[in-house]
A and B are shown apart, each in its own frame.
Chain A
Amino acid sequence: MNAWSEEAVAVPTGGPEADWLPFSIVPTVGESPREEIISALFRSEYAGLLRLAYCITGDRCSAEDVVMEAYCSLHVHWPLMRRSSAPLPYLRSAVILGSRSVIRQAVRSRHWHPRSEVARPDPSSEDAIADTEAGTLAGAVRALPHRQCEVIVCRYYLELSEAETAELLHLSVGAVKQHAHRARQTLSRWLEVER
């Protein structure tokens, strides 16, 4: 299952941005190209980015903040974007980095109360996973070391290849393989205990 909807949202206008957009755009009178492209990105990618952040943080409110920051960052860094990379990988990368920061800040301030149905491990618990949600691996994935968690989410949720994951996370392909291997070992061990 691919989490990324690539439905057509608009009509192409040509111009320098058109080649890296996975969809086409309807120009809106009075809007600059930046505004109209970001607006289109909201319609086509927001839900997917929100789910990506949720996979890592397990908290919808935090995920919404992270995605909003990513779009604002895209707006600010737009001039660089047009020369170097596509906005979707930029947004994904910003969401992953932002999610990591949210987790660290939340843990640091000890105010981590996920509002979703999937609970975070009890910070005071000796066993990091024993108290998480029963029967799902999603909580265990979130409790992995952050690099392993990000690799697993990229490989299994975004369904990216090892090379694409490496590019998105700024890692080597070897490192992606290593993180995925270690994560699978840990999750496998956790699964054995759950059974």
Chain B
Amino acid sequence: MSTLDELIRDDLSASADSVEVTDDQLGHVVHRYTRRLRAVRRQRRMRAVVAAAAAVVVLGAGAVALQQLLATVDSLPPSRTVEPTTLPVTFANLHGVWVDSASGWLLSFGSDGRLDVVNPGDPSTFDEENTTTITIGPTGITLPDHWCDLDLEPRQGGTMQSTLVREPVPWGGPTSGLCRDLTGHHTLSRLTPAVPGTEADTRSAPEPATGTQQVTSRVQIRGAWRLQASGGLLLIMWDADDANYHYALSGGGQDLTFVDGGTVSMVDDHLVFASEGPDVYCEVGSQTRLAAARVWSTEGDQPFSQALTSRTTRLACGLHSALSDVWLRVS
């Protein structure tokens, strides 16, 4: 046995041995246990009595209430809001892409437990270090050790509460590998539709748009966008080095890896996307033109505040067909 093993064993034993249990304390504990069981039994009996009484009342009043309900339900306005009922943590309920409304980070949950966490404004986060696999057990989700603890609470209506309980100590220091306590609450909003047929699938009607604006300047489209149908991620960034706007486009679906990029320019009220750089999907120099680009502002409970629509007048390659899709602003 190594010195380290002996130290761990001795320290844990010493720590544990400091906890003493006297006969009096044990007697008190058993007494607490007995009282607790009696209380549970009392509660059960009380619930049974209340349930029986309620059943009688409900049966009597049910017929009257049903008649009243049927008489008034037709006059009620249709409700678009969905009660934020908590859903069980299952792969099906988590499946899809979510955005943290405060930071703009994206979380993409696969049906097999794969989790990608990326910052749309920082392409360096699009690597394997930000991909992991979660497991779901009786106590919630479990992340690999080096990710420490995270709680998730999906709700109906396309939102989810995430709570970071402990975060890893950054690498490089003497305590790297340990977790430090941290409590951070974040509200996530669903960007992609829930899996049809699951509890998360509420299929609520979209909020109506409250205003539109013609795109006349690239600054209007600067930021991160989710392409609604393909699920692709589109980043439009200002590069101070060459004083130009650039774009990066992911392949779509759950895969958030950028596969194409280049410059964005504005020519005769057309948005022009030109592929540039090494390892781009479309042919270098090929251009896709979008006309009639309009930004739609929305209000209400939608997870996005803006959407963009346009019409393709020239297509550079198949991947760019996603650009004529509806864009949902992520950040």
Show the binding face of A for B, using Cβ within 8 Å. 1, 3, 39, 42-43, 46-47, 50-52, 54-55, 58, 60, 63-64, 68, 71-72, 75, 97, 100-101, 104, 107-110, 112, 116-118, 120-121, 123, 125, 127-130, 136-138, 140-141, 143-148, 152-153, 156-157, 179, 182, 184-193
Contacts and interface: CB of A to CB of B under 8 A. Distances in A.
Q: Identify which of B16, B21, B166, B173 gathers the most chain A CB atoms within 10 Å of its CB.
A: B16
B9 A145 contact: no
Interface of B: 4-5, 7-9, 11-21, 26, 29-30, 32-33, 36-37, 40, 138-139, 142, 145-146, 148-149, 151, 163, 165-166, 169, 173-183
Q: Identify which of B36, B138, B180 gathers the most chain A CB atoms within 10 Å of its CB.
A: B180
A120 B183 CA distance: 15
Given A1-B13, A116-B18, A146-B149, 14 more contacts: A1-B9, A42-B33, A72-B37, A107-B166, A129-B178, A136-B11, A136-B14, A137-B11, A141-B12, A144-B178, A182-B145, A186-B175, A186-B177, A187-B8
Contact of B8 (A47, A72, A107, A137): A137
A188 B166 CA distance: 22
5 contacts: A1-B13, A68-B33, A107-B165, A152-B8, A156-B5
Given A136-B15, A191-B7, A97 B139 contact: yes
A1 B14 CA distance: 11
Contacts of B165: 104, 107-108
Contacts of B181: 107, 112, 120-121, 123, 128
Contacts of A188: 4
Give 5 nearest A-B pairs by CB, closest first: A186-B177, A145-B145, A51-B16, A138-B15, A123-B181
B21 A55 contact: no
A143 B179 CA distance: 6
A35 B9 CA distance: 35
Given A72-B36, A107-B183, A156 B177 contact: no
B18 to A, nearest CB: 7
A130 B182 CA distance: 16
Contacts of B142: 147
A193 B174 contact: yes
B9 A156 contact: yes
A68 B145 contact: no
Nearest to B148: A145
Contact of B180 (A39, A68, A143): A143
B179 A145 contact: yes
Given A68-B33, A97-B139, A104 B149 contact: yes
Contact of B32 (A68, A112, A116, A140): A68
B1 to A, nearest CB: 10
A75 B13 CA distance: 29
A55 B12 contact: yes
Contact of A153 (B12, B36, B163): B12
A46 B175 contact: no
B12 A148 contact: no
Given A143-B179, A185-B177, A39 B30 contact: yes
